[in-house]
Amino acid sequence: MEARSARSSARAKMLREMELETDGLIEACFGVDPNPSNEITRHAAVCSTSKRQRSATRDKMARVLEDETNALIEGAFGQQSNYNVLTRNPSDDIAHGEDSVQIQRTDSAGGSLLEEDVDDAEGRNIWKSFSNKYKKALLERQMEKEIDEIDDNSGQEREATEHNEVTAVANYDETIRLVTDLRKCFGDHGITQSAQKDILALFRSRGFPDLPNSRVIMNSQSVSHLIQNCSNGQMYYFGIAQGVRRTVTSEYLAKCTRIDLDFSTDGLSPYKSVKRKVWPILCRLSATDFSWESVPFLVSVFCGKTDPLPAEFLKDFVCEAKDLETSGIKINGVRYEVYIKKFIADQPARAKLKCVNGEGPNSLVQCERCTIIGKHSDRITHFSRTEVRLSQPTLRTDETFRRRLQPSYHKQDDSPLLALNIDMVFSFPYDPMHVLYVGIVKRLWDYLVEIKGAIYHITKKKITEISEFINQELKYQIPSDFSRSIRGLDCYKLFKATEWRRFLLYDGILIFKKFMQRGCYKNFLLLSCAVRILSIPEYVKDRRLMSDAQRMLEIFVVDCEQKFGKNFLTIKMHSLTHIVKDVEIHGPLDSFSAFPFESYLSRINKSMRSHGRCIEQIVGRVREGYLLQPIPVVMRSPSRPQPVLTCEVTSSSSEGKREYLKASLPDIIIRADRMRDSIFKTYDGAVVRVTGILQDSDLNEVVVVGYKFLLSSDFFHSPLRSKVVGIEKVSRMDSLQSHWRIQDIKCKCVLMLYKSSPKEWLCIPMMHDSGVLQSAG
């Protein structure tokens, strides 16, 4: 027993020492800082030293290595253990391999044992770790030797040697370029380690013999020492400033005098069978007017068996954010002011950040904008008109929040975010993805389908009928720009947020009109029109339309209470009455939707390949570039760039014009051969069906040819005239062809057949400036 514990402590000691030893060893030989222990850096150091120097270091390294090896083996397993390091031919072996060296131990009977023969797991791990370290050091020695060999083969003269050193460096440069490209490619596509190994082997056999192994390429190294332990899990802090520096471009800095940031957080449960919570904090450059697009980056990540405690979770974040608020950020020698604009999160995450009572039966005070007190019945807390009357709510402000004027709303501890210069009420907008699309729209449909006695109940037969209509007709009319293709409402339970969004803003209007009762359709239109106004930048600037949206949402809430009862009015429904104010402050709904963050969260989820060591895996993926790709902010130009034309029609080139079927612009695709991708609205209001795309090479101009619809009228008149929000009924296509410049096109439209004889279509302009269409959420 005693001997066993002695052995175990010796092993622990060895593991600790081994880290230090290897780095020390390499530093002693090459005199470079081992941290970051990047083999490429060391390789460069090897290349830059003279041949003689290298020869001396090689000898030194060999001696040190041998001594160290013996000492390590002795330290770990005692003098009695008979461990040997086997190499096939250590001095000549340049097989890059890990396979060229093996650690062997002789047992008491004199027979030899290999790694797989060791009986306990711990012993095997130590063995493995040790032999990896040794192999790595050996590999370095081999790399260095290879360069020497190139020198040797090219002649003995000094001039010749110098010339060849230049050749070796040039080869090295090529290898470095290849390594950079491979790292990006492996990271982008999440290529597995075994596939990476095979790909590298191919390159090695085809002219890149000294490519390092995949671990070195992906820069994966132990991060355990950088992970902080907290009371119920572990955390890793990447930082805000370094992410911002990686994201901004000179083009962005030239246009912006200050840097506005949005943050987001949410809890993930990556595994079905193991209880594990992952909470990342994400950040991106805030863009209210959609003039640029910025991909989120990771600021920190927590992993534990339960949710993190706000004080620990936000400690490093608040510390850095505060520093950025006071001192700004220095980029290329210029100091920029930093403002924290908003936190985009779902309701439970917002409650966690603000340390207030969230959704749930235990709390009657849930509204983040006013002091309304809800009522609890049938396991639901509802906020009906009676409650509004009884509690006479007042609106919250940053000041009333900080002074905790409604104590029952706040948790015992103060939010760490109070230290920041933010509005504790309005810096936390109601995110439309959670509140509207998977919140209210889904709940409305759930209610219509599931509550049997309810007014406007939808029977199973009707759902089948609607699904058939979708699968047989609508499916071929919805443009291909949406990330998910439309599917029948029989599988509505599986719908994602983007599908509910499309349903609310586009196809739902036709489905409700065709299949639902009039009262239900009118109720749906109130929500659909209000959300359309709140989503389009041009409408958001229109005060009259904004007050119309507020009015429509208020009527929608009252209407729902009358039709579906008080229990329908959960906190999300009540939030609708406050959402217009959020749009007034932060801009159109999509500027504070969680869609881009949600896409990034699903990337994090996918990045975890095995159950254990969550945090190490995430940090590893970030270092490999899979999660922290340096994607700079993309600026949008106010005018449309020239489209990329493909699918040329070869038969009909006439008068110096070439005809194409497909034109791709950053936000839309035009396809002349496909009805659903060929409908556009021009700036002068015409709805056009494009049948050809011509390029005039003399004028360097692209024109589209097609037919416009001659008749247009309102599709509905209540709650407002549909044409006010761009929705119209069109019919009678012109028999004469016309043409338009590509700059005349305002937007693409969804065109759905409403009546077949005479043919009438419902035409709804698409919103392109949102970045939501491509979202995976």
Q: How far is the CB of 434 from Zn ion (least distance, A)?
A: 17
Q: How far is the CB of 529 from Zn ion (least distance, A)?
A: 22
Task: Determine whether 118 is exposed, middle or buried from the number of CB atoms within 10 Å of its CB (0-12, 13-18, 19+).
Answer: middle
Stretch that binds Zn ion, among 297-305, 363-371, 453-461, 639-647 (CB under 5 A): 363-371
Nearer to Zn ion, 370 or 504 (CB): 370
Q: How far is the CB of 395 from Zn ion (least distance, A)?
A: 8
Task: Determine whether 380 is exposed, middle or buried from the number of CB atoms within 10 Å of its CB (0-12, 13-18, 19+).
Answer: middle
Stretch that binds Zn ion, among 369-377, 424-432, 462-470, 707-715 (CB under 5 A): 369-377
Contact call for residue 370 and Zn ion (CB under 5 A): yes
Q: What tokens does 350 get?
A: 């917002």
Residue identified by tokens 């209880």 is: 275
Distance CA 112, CA 591 (A): 67
For residue 714, the surrounding DSSP H or E stretch is: strand 701-714
Window 315-354: contact mask with Zn ion (x via CB under 5 A): ----------------------------------------
Q: How far is the CB of 233 from Zn ion (least distance, A)?
A: 34
In sequence order, the 6+-apart residues with CB closer than 8 A to the CB of 293 are 287, 633, 634, 636, 771
Q: Where are the alpha helices (DSSP H) in 385-426?
A: 385-391, 398-402
Q: How far is the CB of 387 from Zn ion (least distance, A)?
A: 10
Q: How far is the CB of 495 from Zn ion (least distance, A)?
A: 28
Contact call for residue 369 and Zn ion (CB under 5 A): yes
- DSSP-derived letter for residue 292 is E
Closest CA to 204 of 169, 179, 221, 180: 179
**Number of residues lying near Zn ion (CB under 5 A):** 4
Distance CA 30, CA 628 (A): 30
Residues 376-405 that bind Zn ion (CB under 5 A): none
- DSSP-derived letter for residue 395 is B
Stretch that binds Zn ion, among 131-139, 366-374, 473-481, 597-605 (CB under 5 A): 366-374
Question: What's the helix, strand, coil split of the chain in %, to 5?
Answer: 50, 20, 30
Stretch that binds Zn ion, among 91-99, 365-373, 701-709, 764-772 (CB under 5 A): 365-373
Stretch that binds Zn ion, among 141-149, 207-215, 362-370, 699-707 (CB under 5 A): 362-370
**Which amino acid type is present at position 334?**
V
Stretch that binds Zn ion, among 20-28, 190-198, 371-379, 412-420 (CB under 5 A): 371-379
Q: What tokens does 267 get?
A: 């809890």
Stretch that binds Zn ion, among 367-375, 558-566, 659-667, 761-769 (CB under 5 A): 367-375
Stretch that binds Zn ion, among 6-14, 66-74, 299-307, 361-369 (CB under 5 A): 361-369
Contact call for residue 373 and Zn ion (CB under 5 A): no
Q: How far is the CB of 366 from Zn ion (least distance, A)?
A: 9
Nearer to Zn ion, 367 or 589 (CB): 367
Q: How far is the CB of 578 from Zn ion (least distance, A)?
A: 6
Contact call for residue 511 and Zn ion (CB under 5 A): no
Nearer to Zn ion, 45 or 372 (CB): 372
Nearer to Zn ion, 182 or 367 (CB): 367
In sequence order, the 6+-apart residues with CB closer than 8 A to the CB of 371 are 365, 391, 393, 394, 396, 406, 409
Contact call for residue 572 and Zn ion (CB under 5 A): no
CA distances from 698 to 70, 145, 652, 702 (A): 78, 61, 17, 11
Q: How far is the CB of 566 from Zn ion (least distance, A)?
A: 16
Q: How far is the CB of 263 from Zn ion (least distance, A)?
A: 24
Q: Are strands 687-696 and 679-682 parallel, antiparallel or unpaired?
A: antiparallel
Torsion of CA 602, 608, 609, 610, to 10 degrees: -130
Stretch that binds Zn ion, among 62-70, 368-376, 665-673, 769-777 (CB under 5 A): 368-376
Nearer to Zn ion, 253 or 388 (CB): 388
Task: Determine whether 250 is exposed, middle or buried from the number of CB atoms within 10 Å of its CB (0-12, 13-18, 19+).
Answer: exposed
Stretch that binds Zn ion, among 27-35, 359-367, 484-492, 672-680 (CB under 5 A): 359-367
Q: What tokens does 752 get?
A: 């759905």
Whether omega for the bond prior to residue 719 falls within 30 degrees of 0, making it cis, is yes
Q: How far is the CB of 191 from Zn ion (least distance, A)?
A: 49
For residue 560, the surrounding DSSP H or E stretch is: helix 543-564
Q: How far is the CB of 383 from Zn ion (least distance, A)?
A: 7
Contacts 24+ apart (CB under 8 A), 35-38: 36/219, 36/221, 37/221, 38/216, 38/219
Distance CA 350, CA 428 (A): 7
Nearer to Zn ion, 577 or 593 (CB): 577
Nearer to Zn ion, 172 or 409 (CB): 409
Nearer to Zn ion, 366 or 593 (CB): 366
Q: How far is the CB of 531 from Zn ion (least distance, A)?
A: 19
Q: How far is the CB of 483 from Zn ion (least distance, A)?
A: 33
Nearer to Zn ion, 139 or 370 (CB): 370
Contact call for residue 501 and Zn ion (CB under 5 A): no
Contact call for residue 425 and Zn ion (CB under 5 A): no
**Which amino acid type is present at position 642?**
Q
**Which amino acid type is present at position 31?**
G
Choosing from 218, 367, 444, 763, the residue that interacts with Zn ion (CB under 5 A) is: 367
Which residues here bind Zn ion, judged by CB under 5 A?
A: 367, 369-370, 372
